[in-house]
Chains A and B, each alone.
Chain A
Amino acid sequence: MRWGIDLLTTENKERLLSIASPAALLAAWQLLSWAGALDPRFIPSPIGIGEAGYALIRSGELAHHVSISLLRILAGFLIGAVPGILVGLAMGTSRWVRAAVDPLVAALFPIPKISLLPLIMLYLGIGEASKIALVALGVVFLVLINSMAGVLAIDPIHFDVARNYGAPRYKLWTRVVIPGALPMIFVGMRLGIGVAFIVIVAAEFVAARSGIGYLIWTSWETLRIENMFVGIITITILGVATTLLLREIERVAMPWRRERV
């Protein structure tokens, strides 16, 4: 009987439990639906949602919406994160840049970015540019603030070492500033991705003819509740997937932190 004992380590029990609890919840949900305790007009059964999802996948509709949303997120994320990192690092290394940019950031960061959508549409039209710009706006401040904080968190002794050993400016950046701030840059990017999802779905609700947000909104307007659930679950899956992807990039980019993460 050694087998049974070996397999049921505390760790495996934990793993089992973390799979079993959502599975049990789903089963209970399905049973309640079958029993007629849940009104299918408001709460469809898991199997019903699965069927609706399968139909959306087969027709290619889901892939279409997902790819459009992801493209908007990716483009907006890059356009927001790259300058965010650069300006943030510059603010971290130079008190003058910090003094000049800090008030702007303090004023613009707290604005709910979605509230700028009408204005942005006025400037950029109702096409892709306005959605991408909105995502970029949502991402840029989070990345910028965290990148700056990352530089400021570097132990001053590391700058002393670099100076004492005569580091040229570009080496100071590649060997001290960037790797030192990298953990916080990644924190900013993780937060940025989360905001990108929030912003893009909200924008697609009101101002798009495609995308996951649009799928959810039209399903609401036509009362296809299953499709709404499919849309929401898709976002969940995409969110988890991007977080995992980012974590993997982190692992590769920061080998010195592997054991600690």
Chain B
Amino acid sequence: MRILAGLETQTSGTVEIARADPTRPLNSMVFQDHSLFPWLTVLDNAAFGLEMRGVPRAERRERTRSLLDAVGLTRFCDHYPHQLSGGMKQRVSLVRAFVTDPEVLLMDEPFAALDAQNRVLLQDELVRIWEGSGKTVVYITHSIDEALVLGDRIIVMTSSPGQLKEMIPVDFPRPRNIFQIRARPEFGAVSARIWNILELEVMKAREGQR
């Protein structure tokens, strides 16, 4: 993911991303925890990507504000990150990435540090603001449940060295209601199948540690 995000250069191989509109940023990343700047307000944090791309102040504020509205943070525009809960912080990160309208959205376990309730709420919000945008999202998670609820294709990776092990299509229809998906009978079956693949890898990783 760090190679995709341009934060590291690959030692071999190539990265190819189909680009529809060269004026849009190639990718924007939603990082794990603590990625908001403590010294910027919520609005400035969320508008950071636009500011870096030279979007004029008035325009970037307007665009950012409307997305902050969508995730219920209107009242917190002038707050600083330390005044927000973990869930609210990750909402701001989400807005920061979305508002730049990137070709690809990279998400590196964005909700891993949240409590169970907040995680579900944010998954729901992610699906809501993503649906209709049609963006490619590359999403890393350790949660099978999260992968199934959000994903269209799940790629199971091997333990180190990380390689593609298996690709599993997820056929739940869209638009999705992430609460109803969990109740479907196929959900349990696919979940069990993925776990079987993973279990082997987990065992191998444990062997490697000994």
Contact = CB atoms under 8 A, between A and B. Distances in A.
B82 interface: yes
Contacts of B49: 165
B18 interface: no
Contact of A166 (B37, B53, B83): B53
Nearest to B38: A256
A57 to B, nearest CB: 43
Nearest to A255: B80
Interface in A170-198: 171, 175-176, 179-180, 182
Given A157-B31, A256-B82, A176 B37 contact: yes
Contacts of A167: 52
Interface stretch (B22-30, B57-65, B132-140, B142-150): B22-30
A47 to B, nearest CB: 50
Contact of B7 (A160, A171, A179): A160
Nearest to A162: B52
A180 B82 CA distance: 14
The contact size tier of chain A is: 20 to 34
B109 interface: no
28 contacts: A157-B31, A157-B34, A158-B37, A160-B5, A160-B7, A160-B29, A160-B31, A160-B35, A161-B29, A161-B35, A161-B37, A161-B48, A164-B7, A164-B27, A164-B28, A164-B29, A165-B25, A165-B28, A165-B96, A166-B53, A168-B52, A175-B37, A175-B48, A179-B37, A255-B80, A256-B38, A256-B39, A256-B40
Interface of A: 155, 157-158, 160-168, 171, 175-176, 179-180, 182, 254-256, 259-260
